[in-house]
Structure 1
Amino acid sequence: MKKTAFLFLTICATALTQVSCSGNDDTKNQSESDVTSVGASLTIDAINDMDIKTGLIVTTKNTSSAKSKETTPGICAAITITQQSPTSYPKVFTVDYGATGCTDNLIIRKGKLKITLSGPITTTGSKITIERIDYSLNGIKLEGTIEYTNATTVATVPQWSRKVTNGKFTDLEGRVYLNSGNWTVKQTAGVDTPYVLEDNTYEMTEGNHTITSANGAVLTLTVQESLIKKYSCDFVSKGKLKVQSNLLNGVVDYGNNDCDKKFTFTNQNGTTFNLSM
């Protein structure tokens, strides 16, 4: 995944943007900022999905008594649960990957995730809040808070809102990107098995993600066609995002619902690039 944040630097040399990277210094710097922001944004969103997945695993699999310490299959971190009683809310889960980190699925995580569950996540209004504490993934530092709130109005169509605030992403080169966003998420498969996560499929029907680079350049990615995310896949497998900035405009297409890392970027001039996370 960490390759994503750097793919677009190379693409600039192959004329991804209509504005040539060989133009004046201001245009060149703006163009390079825009294309690297696209890569950073896609990486941020993929990591947000992974952290939400961690939150769902931890809160679903752990129902132990107050202040207990648990291990959860598939998560290498130590998990501490704090609550007033075994049936009370809120429940606070501290997922501690340690200062030196540990590895899940070839991904090295360090630091902590503080996950607060306000009530059963299957209940409308309940919220999972994920706070990052000295947290990094494969050396990429991440800050900010994710709120995942049950907004279901029809029982057969579970729905959530996903809000990211005070997001801060520091890549391996030390570049900093501030980010925030809101998504609407519907569950389209696995509804009949609410406490089994593996058969779930989610559809992000609307929303946008804004990212600001260190030089102040702002880029926005907006859902153009619903994004399909299977619980069993690490990445979005279908759907399109519209990319907009001062110099870069186009569409990210995640493909035909295959569980893979591939996607394409089509610039507004019609040029298409096949890429991979």
Structure 2
Amino acid sequence: MNFYIIGTFLLTLISCSKEDIVVDRELVNAYAEIEFSSEVDFNSGIEAASDNSSFASRNNINSNTSLASCATVTVDNATTGVFPKTFTIDFGSGCVSNGILRSGSITVTITNYIMTAGSVTTIVRGNNYYINGRKVEGTIVYENTTTDVNNPQWNRTITNGKTTTTSGDVYTHSGTRTVKQIAGVTTLALLDNIYEITTGNHTITKNNNATLTTTVVEPLIKKYACAHVSQGQLDLQGSVLDGILDYGDNTCDYFATYTHSNGVVYDIVLN
């Protein structure tokens, strides 16, 4: 699920210090990277499961994955239909797939077919796992809470999240959200997937100091084929930020608006 949500804010809040503005921008960028890495890892889990007949209990889905060309995937239990299964996805010293550079390994444990209601998918990052040069740590749990097979959904929880940038900055984070797939359900061609994030919040802290909290206030629409969220609203609360980020009218573009609590509206370019 490609939830690369926010890029660099191109705004200036003249009533605030330059230092606070810089910190909030950094936290927003970190949030974007966190969502991006979470989506990348879940997609890897989907690909590993589909390549091993563990995505869905039906046979009319055509797998179209690229994971095998980049990573070495092993499974502790290869018997079809028998769970739990733990996949180890090892990217070695580094390989590029879909333009993403990864190294190290993750494990993905599933308690049933990923698309089956009640199944739990747990993703654990290894001690030496990197995405695009950033060290990524923590555990992500997706619980399938589907009530309508035409619109599968998951509750996602991130615990002990930690991202270390190439410059050495450390961002810790945690949060929950509800994700519903609203298109592309019957295929594994990811390009036709569309997701709706209906609820959720996330808190990111830089170097055990400055903090940003994001909360979904209007469902976010994310098309796999688009680089950014195309519709919906997030509430942003930080040292400077206190307002609403609006992604617009569902157009696949790089633009959004931020409305500060004082009513001033800023045009945003998503990076």
TM-score range, shorter chain: 0.7 to 0.9
Q: What value does the CA root-mean-square deviation take over the aligned residues?
A: 2.7
Q: Give the match's secondary structure for 1:39.
A: helix
Quote how far apart the aligned CAs of 1:243 are.
0.3
Q: Give the match's secondary structure for 1:242.
A: strand
CA contact under 8 A between 1:169 and 1:178: conserved in structure 2? yes
Quote how far apart the aligned CAs of 1:173 are.
1.5
- Residue in 2 aligned with 1:32? 22
What TM-score do the two structures reach when normalised by structure 2?
Answer: 0.83
Is 1:74 equivalent to 2:27 in the alignment? no
Sequence identity of aligned pairs in percent?
43
- Residue in 2 aligned with 1:166? 160
Q: Is the alpha carbon distance of 1:256 and 1:113 closer, same or farther for their aligned partners in structure 2, counting shifts above 3 Å?
A: farther
Q: Is the alpha carbon distance of 1:97 and 1:224 closer, same or farther for their aligned partners in structure 2, counting shifts above 3 Å?
A: same
Residue pairs, 1:144-155, within 5 angstroms: 144-155=138-149
Q: Say which of 258, 264, 268 aligns to 2:251.
A: 258
- Residue in 1 aligned with 2:40? 50
1:150-188 Cα distance to aligned partner (Å, 9 max, x none):
011234432210111100011121111100110111121
Alpha-carbon distance in 2 for matches of 1:245, 1:272: 17
Between 1:41-50 and 1:219-228, the stretch displaced more is 41-50
Q: Is the alpha carbon distance of 1:205 and 1:233 closer, same or farther for their aligned partners in structure 2, counting shifts above 3 Å?
A: same
What TM-score do the two structures reach when normalised by structure 1?
Answer: 0.82
Q: Identify unmatched segments of 5+ residues in structure 2.
A: 55-63
Count matched residues. 256
Q: Give the match's secondary structure for 1:87.
A: coil
1:44-96 Cα distance to aligned partner (Å, 9 max, x none):
112212221221122123239xxxxxxx8422111112216333111111111
- Residue in 2 aligned with 1:41? 31
Q: Is the alpha carbon distance of 1:175 and 1:266 closer, same or farther for their aligned partners in structure 2, counting shifts above 3 Å?
A: farther
Q: Identify unmatched segments of 5+ residues in structure 1.
A: 22-27, 65-71
Residue pairs, 1:1-277, within 5 angstroms: 7-8=8-9, 11=10, 15-16=12-13, 18-21=15-18, 28=19, 30-63=20-53, 73-75=65-67, 76-83=70-77, 85-99=79-93, 101-133=94-126, 134-191=128-185, 193=186, 197-269=190-262, 270-277=264-271
Q: Is the alpha carbon distance of 1:92 and 1:121 closer, same or farther for their aligned partners in structure 2, counting shifts above 3 Å?
A: same
Larger RCO (alpha carbons 8 Å, 6+ apart): 2
